[in-house]
Structure 1
Amino acid sequence: MRVSVDTDACCSMGKCAATAPQVFDQDDDIGAVVLLQAEPPPELHETVRLCADLCPCAAITVTED
């Protein structure tokens, strides 16, 4: 799995950072998503997919290997 984020599309809701803090964070200044792990371990794949599905701005893209 490979994860990418579009910080320009991010609406700073923070759902991703709250759901998968090992993979996502929020910029303290602008609130946009910060990607911590572009290739998360398998045990986080389901949670990362959930974050992409829940993102109200579609700012998270998941590419399966």
Structure 2
Amino acid sequence: MQNALTNYRLVKIQDIDREETATNILIGPFALVSGENWFLIEWCHLRKEFRFFQLDKFKK
């Protein structure tokens, strides 16, 4: 993700909501933020808005 962020590359991810519905989305990583957990701030091309993802929830 850091490589995509640094090189301004888009990334395809699969977002799974609380109802276990999967959606393939294209994101533009914007920033990595550290606090209690690591978060990715990204621009979602599907929803046309910035979103926040907790990185430890990502599957490889």
Same fold by TM (over 0.5)?
no
Q: Which has the higher helix share?
A: 1
TMscore range, shorter length = under 0.3
The TM-score with structure 2 as length reference comes to 0.27
Between 1 and 2, higher relative CO (CA 8 Å, sep ≥ 6) is seen in 1
